[in-house]
Amino acid sequence: MSDHYVKVKVQLEQMKSSGEGVEKDEADIIEDEVLVASSPASVSPIPASGTPAAQRETPKTSVTCRNQSKSRNKLGKDEKNTCTKQDSVPALQGTIVASNANSGKPVNRKDNEQQMLQIKGTGKMLQGKTETNGNTVPIHLPEDIKVGPHNKEDANKVAKRRKPVTVDTFKAKTSLEALKLSIRQLKWKEFPVGRRSACDIYWHGVSFHDNDNIISGQVNKFPGMIEMLRKINLTRAVRTMQELFPEEYNFYPRSWILPEEYQLFSTQISLAKDSDLSQKPTFIIKPDGGSQGDGIYLIRDPGDLRVIAGSHTKQSVVQEYIHKPLLIDKLKFDIRLYVLVKSLEPLEIYIAKEGLSRFCTEPYQEPSQKNLSHVFMHLTNYSLNVQSGNFVHSDSLSSGSKRTFSSVLYRLASKGVDIKKVWSDIISLVIKTIIALVPELKVYYQADIPPGKPGPTCFQILGFDILLMKNLKPVLLEVNANPSMRIEHEQEVSPGVFEYVPSPVDEEVKVGVIRDTLRLMDPAQKKSLTPVKLKANYFNEGRVLPSMCLKQVFPKYTKQFSYLRTVERITALFLRFLGVKGNMRLGPTGFRTFIRNCKLSNSHFSMATVDILYIDITRRWASMLPDSREAGMGLQAFVEAFFYLAQRRFKSLPLREQVVSLLEVCEAQLENQGRGDSGGALPEDSTASTRRSVSCGRTQPGRTQHPHHMSTSTPGQALSAPQLCSPATPRRASSQDYRLHQRLRPTHKGNVEN
């Protein structure tokens, strides 16, 4: 018989003779000390059929040891070892079990629940080590580990992991209710009146500049998005892509910009009518800064522009009207899809799997001179049709004047329509449109958040308005920088009394879009090296959220669309030679430096010709942009100049191949110069003026090639005739230049939602 068993037996006899009752609460025993060990190899545990006194006194051993532990300094080494070995017997494999003396069952349910506590958070059972003599040495848990869901180390990790994300909703405006619901579902922390310290996410209602004091975190608006999604700028961006890729960008209706292209519009329409007398085209006029259907009207003759309120003098876009739209219940409708641009570099795009279908409130008829003014028949804008007496507010997702897009797809599928093909075409349209917008957005981005300046990162939800033609081809109507995220609608509850009531359709779609946008922008996910794929099993403090309603389409489909990013490569050159941080216009010196560094001048294309080209293009674009307060060459003007240079150098090729060929020449020249700069030496040219330009235009070795961080020390200067041909070294950029630029930048204070 081992010494261990003898000591245990002696201890039990002493306890039995003392007559002490076992009335100490067993929960206290568990809290004070828990020993995890395997039963000794040579000793059997105390059998359940033993004497009642022995079984009642088994937990008393732990009580005795607890009392002894309070005065460890009084105990000798042998006493401490004895206490340790005594406690190892009843603590079998991480559980403490008290048995009834007669039946072997637990004393009661409550005691059993207290006793059957397992040590959690350890990840595995702790067992004793077996010595050579066959006895097992019990393992004592560290003092900081207690019975509970986690030990201290795990608790700290959990606390750090579960630290709530902070969201500043002070500027959220009309999207506030959907945003609040989303934050509650995620169990994040909202700051409705702002916060002195930085928040993780700032939710603005209108533009990036709703709050200009943000230096960290994430903002739900991109700089320049409002400007880029005005009717004219969107048309120009798509038109540039149509020049390079006419077949890929045929989803945007033929458009003209007024008033600058009025004569062109009038001439083309007159020629088309003369060639085919049966043609009776209809056109829709959209004010450049219009929203919610304001100022939109239809015409059938260019001469009508002069008749209607002098509208030919206003900045607007005229587009071909789609005569044969897809009808449901004899009504024309459009699709509002929500698209998340998560970042520009790298480009990440998500599309909501669910959208809204917005119906007209008057049966459709092809446009004629008699019904051109019937807005409830031709225009699908919700803000217009909601004023109609035929508008139907429905609690159902598949009926009424506003329905879910999935309900429309279900009806189409029941008629044999290939829904996958429809979705594929829509995804292609969205990706191509954003690719057309990205180049100028990058210029705005570096103007507001220059390299080296502290600032937030950005993301944004866009509203795409898409019309399905009768042949199911999607057509882009417009893109909204501030799509309405209201989840309620105004309803007249009594004569003259209106109140907002919940809209089930809006809540179903919009809350999911905002909630999953926040999930994707979760700072914890962004910091992780291996971000969690947010699918159905996304736990948030024990709560399962719905599966993601946002589907990534880019870079998922990069291979199919990467060839369209040609203008982005031109933008990288433009940003490289801008020079001044925060500037958006290329000065004459920067343009000449671009020509020299890329070696585009020769005996047939002198620098004097370069200066003339710069003057002509810059002046023409200045006349087309009357609101611009900056002098110099903007990105669109630079793209036009680049196209001209490509056509001049590669005359026999199509435009797209001309542009790509010139890009390869420029990129190769700059790459060679970068290699030459690796040792610190500058490439030498024959003249001192060239050396000065190169030294100002070269890229610093080892610097990242991120488009937002490609900058040189060459400042863009204001257009000035005496300086055009001067090779003098550009002036040094100062902080005053940047502050002046910030003061001159146009501000947008309107709260416009579409």
Is the residue at 138 inside a domain?
no
Which runs of consecutive H residues, i.e. helices, occur in 162-283?
A: 176-186, 225-228, 231-244, 262-275
Q: Is 99 domain-assigned? A: no
- Spatial neighbors of 367 by CB under 8 A, at least 6 apart, are 282, 298, 300, 321, 323, 378
Cα 469 to Cα 69: distance, rounded to the nearest angstrom: 84
664 inside domain = yes
- Regions of the chain where pLDDT drops below 70: 1-162, 306-313, 526-543, 580-581, 626-629, 676-754
Q: What is the pLDDT of residue 628?
A: 64
Q: Cα(419)–Cα(324) distance, rounded to whole angstroms?
A: 20
The DSSP call for residue 453 is: S
Q: Residue 643 is part of which domain span?
A: 562-671
User: Which distant-in-sequence residues (6+ apart) come within 8 Å of 474 by Cβ?
Assistant: 251, 335, 422, 425, 426, 429, 466, 467, 468
- The reported pLDDT for the residue numbered 640 is 96
pLDDT score for 516: 97
Report how far apart, in Å, the C-alpha atoms of 345 and of each of 532, 699, 728 are. 21, 19, 35
Per-residue pLDDT tens over the stretch 190-223 = 999 988 899 999 999 999 999 988 989 999 999 9
pTM for this model (two decimals): 0.70
Grouping H, G, I as helix, E, B as strand and the rest as coil, residue 352 is strand
Is residue 70 assigned to a domain?
A: no
Please tell me the predicted confidence (pLDDT) of residue 156.
53
CATH code of the domain in which 580 resides = 1.10.238.10
Alpha-carbon distance 705 to 106, whole Å? Answer: 71
- CA angle, residues 393, 398, 403, in degrees to nearest 5: 60
Q: Please check whether residue 595 lies inside any domain of the structure.
A: yes
At 645 the pLDDT is 96
How many alpha carbons lie under 13 Å from residue 124 in its C-beta half-sphere? 3
Could you tell me if residue 613 is inside a domain? yes
Q: How far, in Å, CA of 649 to CA of 371, rounded?
A: 52
- Is residue 24 in some structural domain? no
DSSP letter at 633? B
Q: How many domains does the chain have?
A: 1
The predicted structure's pLDDT at residue 452: 77
Q: What gap in Å lies between CA 222 and CA 204, rounded to an integer?
A: 10
Peptide bond between residue 164 and the one before it cis (omega within 30 degrees of 0): no
Position 588 in a domain: yes
Residue 13: its pLDDT value, please?
63
Tokens of 448: 């507001």
